[in-house]
Amino acid sequence: MAKLKNAMKKRESKPFKELLTALRARLRGDVSGLANAALNKNPAAGSGSTLSNHMADMGSDQYEQDFSLSLMANEGEVLEQIESALARIDAGTYGACEECEGKIPKMRLNAIPYTAHCVKCAEKIQRSG
């Protein structure tokens, strides 16, 4: 990919890389925690000693399970955005809008470090659905 003139220098994007990495770690922790809760109601069973009892409970918690899994889907979307933001940092295109190649204000990146668009383009994309 060609260098974007509005993209951040590596040195500039470093704090954002750290922020995104921390965010990703936290989200991954939440996702796996939810996955455990959704798949196994017994927190002690994670020790690997036995898988015996929890099969009997399955089905009774269907609603809760669906709810947890739909939460995970949303977090998965954010995770994807974080991953591509980290990829943009490595490619040296982070900080430039993917739509108009304009500079994304640092204030916006501080609020949403994984955004790929400036405010104007994000609004345009949202409106077009």
Residues of this chain that bind Zn ion (CB under 5 A): 97, 99-100, 102, 118, 121
Nearer to Zn ion by Cβ, of 82 and 118: the residue is 118
Mark 24-47 as b/e (b = at least 16 C-beta within 10 Å).
beeeeeebeebeeebeebeeebee
In whole angstroms, the minimum distance from the beta carbon of 121 to Zn ion comes to 3
Query: Shortest CA distance to 4 belongs to which of 118, 113, 81, 94?
Result: 94
The conformation of residue 103, written as its DSSP 8-state character, comes to: B
In whole angstroms, the minimum distance from the beta carbon of 81 to Zn ion comes to 16
Nearer to Zn ion by Cβ, of 92 and 102: the residue is 102
Nearer to Zn ion by Cβ, of 72 and 121: the residue is 121
In whole angstroms, the minimum distance from the beta carbon of 17 to Zn ion comes to 21
Residue 33 phi/psi, 5° resolution? Answer: -65, -45
